Amino acid sequence: MLYKYNQSNKVFNQVKNNLYIMSKVPFMGISKKRLTKAIGFTKSKRLTNNNLEKIKKIFIKNKKKYLLYWYLTPAIKFRSYSFRFSSNCILQKGSNMGEKIWYLVKNKKKSFILIGSDIPGINQNIISKAFYDLKNHDMVIGPTEDGGFWLIGFSKKKKISYPFNNIRWSTSNTFKDLIANLDKIKISYKITTKLRDIDNKDDYCKNIEGLEINL
């Protein structure tokens, strides 16, 4: 968390960390299609709602430190079990993951971190560490156990080239391809905490088993 001195008021104004959460809204035919096909829409919808509510509950207690934005498709308003998502909602733009991320880079002036919504192990300490790491690098990336990435952040300290060319999305090579691109175009980066995401039935079952163990 940063503080900016305001000479006119002679006080320190808190500069919030900008955190974007990327997600599909939990509508029929919209939620994660591969997972929905395997476990059914009801369970898939419940998972998405629970994940989004967990993230909101984590950071709603830290409004002074974090400013949350919801980067959604295909709608920008919906209701979960406990919350209405209607403010700070942005519609995703782009035909693939790289273009959707780059849309934010091009249109947002301040540094930010973007995370996926399907990450069971997320907590405030991990996000705080990622923002800390971003202070001294152009980018920060959080890898997933299956070869993708769940977190990506941009310091906006300088203009950078498009880093998502020729990436094999949704494969075990995604993270590796991104790192190769960053090295090639000489963008400084920090790799932060590796976490598991929920993309398929096996991931879902492991998550359910983990919840039962922690009860």
pTM: 0.86
The yes-or-no verdict on residue 15 having pLDDT over 90 is no
pLDDT of residue 209: 61
The yes-or-no verdict on residue 13 having pLDDT over 60 is no
Q: Find out whether 107 and 86 touch, Cβ atoms under 8 Å.
A: no
Residue 198 or residue 79, greater confidence: 79
List pLDDT tens digits, range 172-205. Answer: 999 999 999 999 999 999 999 999 987 666 766 7
Per the prediction, the chain carries an average pLDDT of: 85
Alpha-carbon dihedral angle through residues 59, 63, 64, 68, given to the nearest 10 degrees: 80
How do the domains of the chain map onto residue ranges? 2-214
Question: Is the bond into 26 cis (omega within 30 degrees of 0)?
Answer: no
pLDDT average, residue stretch 58-87: 89
Could you tell me the pLDDT band of residue 68, with boundaries at 50, 70 and 90?
A: very high
Euclidean distance between CA atoms 190 and 151, whole angstroms = 11
Residue type present at position 26: P
Compute the chain's Rg from CA coordinates.
18
What architecture (CATH level 2) is domain 2-214?
Alpha-Beta Complex (3.90)
- pLDDT > 70: what percent of the chain? 81
